[in-house]
Amino acid sequence: MPPNKPRHKPSRDPRTPMPERAAEVRRGDFDEVASGYSSDDAYREAMRCLQCNNPTCEAGCPVNIRIKDFVGAIIEGQPRRGVEILKERNALPAVCGRVCPQEEQCEAACVLAKKGDPVAIGRLERYLGDFDLACELEHRCVPETAEASGYRCAVVGSGPAGLACAGELARLGHEVTVFESLHAPGGVLTYGIPEFRLPKAIVEAEVGLLEEAGVRIVCDEVIGRIATVEELMTDEGFDAVFIGTGAGLPHFLGIPGENLNGVYSANEYLTRVNLMGAYEFPARADTPVWRGRKVAVVGAGNVAMDAARTAIRLGADEVFLVYRRTEEEMPARREEVHHAKQEGVEFKLLCSPLEITGSNGWVTGIVATRMELGETDESGRRAPVCVLGSDFEIECDTVVIAAGTGANPLTADAAPELERSRRGYIVTDDDGATSTPGVYAGGDIVTGAATVILAMGAGKKAARAMDVWMHQRTES
């Protein structure tokens, strides 16, 4: 007879709120906004989980984390086991717990979401990720790796796609080298997402655990200049290569005045502040950033919210978010929109910039036109239409353009032979295989700008396909 397991009685408590620092305090520094669940919070929230026989939440996760089981481990008071379960599928839980759009993925698929608030899966994931990182280094969970296969793989780019791919390849027993062009690994996690949303120490620690698992990370090397993908395979002896270089090239609007001093791409603005620590210039960092008094951020995705909230923290008196549709259509996560508003970002909706004006080479304002929403377009949203004769000027001394990114031409230099889409993205099959045998790709360089977890999913899937390909090639 199997022992009787006590039946789980889910609580009917409301969703446990995430503790966060008050807006008026946090807008003055770069420390993290959300402080994370205590173990009591985590237990209370985990108890809301129905522990469904058929956990639909897991199907909503791009890397199919065993959500039911890790939540179950919290209920049973065994966070250590929860971490192990999480790390079987996701090498960066503390990162994903902070930046994944859970509301559109696992949490959207939670049974409780049908009648009310879903289980706060993301917050529980973060709780376990942080639990692991709070342990002494030697007690942290390093996923077990298979016996050494003798195969060597190169991963180009150390962002979410590359790290997930590298982690999975290492787990499968392969020797992995990750090439990063910047001086620190993490890709967008390091240069793009601000400290107040994802502390760099968290990224460093989780990347450090991947290194513990045998992943070698080489910074300061630009594939496409120092070696091509072909050279990695022919001269440097890699059996397979994964390209996860992201879509880093910033888009501009193509309007007059965009090269005036004081106009930034969101990438430059965020890189100066996050990667280079410009908010501590000149006391503790040597890279400056222009600290405007009136900052206009154009766009309404997560990157735009990050830029606007960064401008607040750099001491701007007024920060405007300029967006051509309404709040309804904003691509940013609700939580980030809410945080931005709390911190004092002013939303100028239904307006579209026509021109950036300047004097003596520096920005003085944006000429914008009012918009209204017309018919539904191919994006499924109502298309903004200009209101004729409604031009007006927004006075500002800094403009940050957060209008998305495209494929970097350097990636094409790295592997000119690969089939590409019209917009320069690499064409792959469902497993990430490109037109060249042994070369795989995933993340934003395949899909265009997407989310951290989708990139991680693509990296992981490609790793499995690389594993199969390397073994098959040897056998045949």
Question: Quick one: which of 17, 19, 150, 288 contacts other proteins (CB under 8 A)?
Answer: 288
Interface with other proteins by CB under 8 A: which range of 40-48, 281-289, 331-339, 386-394?
281-289
Stretch that binds other proteins, among 127-135, 306-314, 403-411, 451-459 (CB under 8 A): 403-411
- Residue among 111 and 182 whose Cβ is closer to other proteins: 182
Residue 191 within binding range of other proteins, rule CB under 8 A: yes
> Rounded to the nearest whole angstrom, what is the least distance from the CB of residue 419 to other proteins in the complex?
21
Ramachandran quadrant class, 98 (left: phi over 0; alpha: psi -120 to 50; beta: rest): alpha
Toward other proteins, which CB reaches closer, 211 or 413? 413
C-alpha span between 301 and 292 (Å, rounded): 21
Nearer to other proteins, 358 or 457 (CB): 358
- Amino acid present at 326: T
Q: How far is CA 305 from the centre of its chain?
A: 13
Tell which one of 15, 410, 436, 447 touches other proteins (CB under 8 A): 410
Tell me the number of residues near other proteins by CB under 8 A.
Answer: 39
Q: What is the closest distance, in whole angstroms, from the C-beta atom of residue 353 to other proteins in the complex?
A: 16
Contact 454, 447 (CB under 8 A): yes
Q: Based on CB atoms, which residue is closest to other proteins, 250 or 353?
A: 250
The answer to whether 15 touches 45, Cβ cutoff 8 Å, is: yes
Q: Does 227 bind other proteins (CB under 8 A)?
A: yes
- Please give the Cα distance from 172 to 458 (Å, whole number): 16
Residue type present at position 6: P
Q: Which amino acid is at 318?
A: E
Distance CA 81, CA 85 (A): 6
Does 237 help bind other proteins (rule: CB under 8 A)? no
Is 250 a binding residue for other proteins by CB under 8 A? The answer is yes
Q: Decide whether 20 or 230 has the Cβ nearer to other proteins.
A: 230
Amino acid at 147: E
Closest CA to 94 of 188, 213, 194, 206: 206
CB closer to other proteins, 53 vs 360: 360
* Least distance CB 155 / other proteins (angstroms): 17
Calpha distance 183→186 (Å, rounded): 10
In the complex with other proteins, the residue whose CB is nearer, 316 or 465, is 316
Q: DSSP state, 115?
A: T
Task: Report if residue 219 touches other proteins, rule: CB under 8 A.
Answer: yes
Considering the rule CB under 8 A, would residue 225 count as an interface residue with other proteins? yes
Site map 446..465 versus other proteins, x via CB under 8 A: --------------------
Q: Which is nearer to other proteins, 144 or 286 (CB)?
A: 286
For other proteins, the binding residue among 408, 428, 434, 451 (CB under 8 A) is: 408
User: What is the side-by-side strand order in the sheet with 346-348?
Assistant: 263-265, 398-401, 294-298, 318-322, 346-348
State the alpha helices, DSSP H only, in 333-451.
334-342, 409-414, 444-447
Smallest separation (angstroms) from other proteins to the CB of 51: 44
CA distance 456 to 447: 12
* Distance (Å, whole) CA 323 – CA 343: 18
Q: Which residues pair with 336 in a beta bridge?
A: none
Quote the tokens at residue 77: 């008071």
221 lies in the binding site for other proteins (CB under 8 A): yes
Q: Which DSSP string corresponds to 185-218? A: S-THHHHTS-TTTS-HHHHHHHHHHHHHTT-EEE
What number of H helices and E strands is found in the chain? 17, 16
Interface with other proteins in residues 253-272 (CB under 8 A): 258-259, 261-262, 264-265, 267-268, 271-272
User: Residue from 13, 29, 220, 419 that binds other proteins (CB under 8 A)?
Assistant: 220
353 lies in the binding site for other proteins (CB under 8 A): no
Task: Confirm or reject binding of residue 276 to other proteins (CB under 8 A).
Answer: yes
Coil, strand or helix: which one is 177?
Answer: strand
Interaction of residue 286 with other proteins, rule CB under 8 A: yes
190 counts as binding other proteins under rule CB under 8 A = no
Paired residues of 425 in beta bridges: none
Q: Which CB, 78 or 287, lies closer to other proteins?
A: 287
Comparison of 248 and 459: residue with beta carbon closer to other proteins: 248
Chain positions contacting other proteins, by CB under 8 A: 181-183, 191, 219-222, 225-227, 248-250, 252, 258-259, 261-262, 264-265, 267-268, 271-272, 276-277, 281-282, 284-288, 290, 361, 408-410
